Amino acid sequence: MTTEKLQIGMLLFPGVTQLDLTGPAEVFSASRRCDVHLIWKALQPVDTGAGWSINATRTFTTTPPLDVICIPGGTGQIALMDDDETLDFIRQQAGHASLITSVCTGSLVLGAAGLLKGYHATSHWMSLPQLQLLGAIPVRERVVRDRNRITGAGITSGIDFALNVLQTLLGAEVAQDVQLGIEYDPSPPYSFNSLATPERLAQLTQYAEQRQALRLESTRRAAARLEEQ
């Protein structure tokens, strides 16, 4: 087994959901077998959706060839769907990456880059149906792997997702050691399924209606561009 560290690039963009980014980044870093790069267009603080910023550590031009490219989600994902510079960077890195991955609505960005056509993939439950517009096969699971694509569902799934990435590239023992080391043994006061009543889901969907409408518009534009290619 190689002793070289895996080069993992995580896209850091304005409006990113910080846990989509920081959850997996912590898992990867805890393995001590990965160099984690937080990538944006400039080396500057980038505002997250939480209202505080994270510093980029690499730019598109200084990022080394990546073993894993990961696209997190967040409200800023909507703008990325029309961002040719970012989509070109993702495609370029995906050309040689061992794994092409995402968390939450980051899978829509992979789809906009044309990287999920014919692949099973997941996303946040509100946005999952939009994947079909981009040629992907939506799957309602927490983590989905199809060949060299691994996608995580909503926000907190990023930790499960990252452990799956470690298991895939570094083996079960490494993933197990990290899970033990970060004491990942979630026990929330409520199960997701117990909360996901039709009434509550409808209420949350209505609350996010405006944002989801913008997201759907951006997905449709991306789908139209893919059809022209």
Q: What is the mean pLDDT of residues 166-184?
A: 99
DSSP SS3 for 153 = coil
**Which candidate in 19, 68, 104, 174 is catalytic?**
104
Type of residue at 35: D
Q: What is the per-residue pLDDT across 73-118, written as a single tens digit (0 to 9) for each?
A: 999 999 999 999 999 999 999 999 999 999 999 999 999 999 999 9
Q: For residue 104, indicate whether it is catalytic.
A: yes
Please report the pLDDT score of residue 229 as a whole number: 86
Q: What is the pTM of this model?
A: 0.97
Domain definitions of the chain by residue range: 6-228
Q: What is the mean pLDDT of residues 136-161?
A: 99
- Provide the pLDDT confidence category of residue 1 given band limits of 50, 70 and 90: very low
Nearest C-alpha neighbor of 36 from the set 13, 77, 1, 67: 67
Tell me what the pLDDT averaged over the chain comes to: 98
Specify burial of residue 114 (Cβ count, 10 A radius: 0-12, 13-18, 19+): middle
CATH architecture for the domain at 6-228: 3-Layer(aba) Sandwich (3.40)
Q: What is the per-residue pLDDT across 106-123, written as a single tens digit (0 to 9) for each?
A: 999 999 999 999 999 999
Q: What is the rounded distance in angstroms from the CA atom of residue 37 to the CA atom of residue 185?
A: 27
